[in-house]
Structure 1
C-alpha cells in the first residue's frame, strides 16, 4: 500500500486521463422498467377502493 493516499490518487488520475474512449463499444440503452404515470396510479387506487367496498 502507498504511504500517502495523495500519491495513489495521482496515479489513478493519470490512468483516467490516459484512457481512450474510442476503445469503448457503442451500445443502445433500452428502458426496461418504466414508472407508472400519475393517471395510472389514480386508476389503480380507484380500482382498489371499488374492490374493497
Structure 2
C-alpha cells in the first residue's frame, strides 16, 4: 500500500510532479459543503410567466394507427 503525504505551505512550491503541485494549490474546502439556499428561498414564484407546452411531434391518434394498419394489410 502506498501513502501520499502532501505538505501544505503558505507559498506555492513544486512538489516533484506537476499534478501534485496543482492539487496542493487547490483551496481546502469541507467535504460536505452544502450550497447556500438563501437565494432560492427568497425567490418569488408568482413572477414566473405561465407557458403552454406545445409538442413538436405529437403521437398519432388510435384511429390514425388503425387506418394505417388497414392500409398496409391491403397492399
For normalisation by structure 2, the TM-score amounts to 0.42
Q: Unpaired runs of 5+ in structure 1?
A: none
Stretches (4+) displaced over 3 A: none
Aligned pairs for 1:1-53 (under 5 A) are 2-8=29-35, 11=36, 13-27=37-51, 29-32=52-55, 33-51=57-75
Judging by fraction of residues, say which structure has more helix. 1
Question: Secondary structure of 2:43's partner?
Answer: coil
Q: Unpaired runs of 5+ in structure 2?
A: 1-26
Count of residue correspondences: 47
For normalisation by structure 1, the TM-score amounts to 0.51
Q: Higher relative CO (CA 8 A, sep ≥ 6), structure 1 or 2?
A: 2
RMSD (CA atoms): 2.5
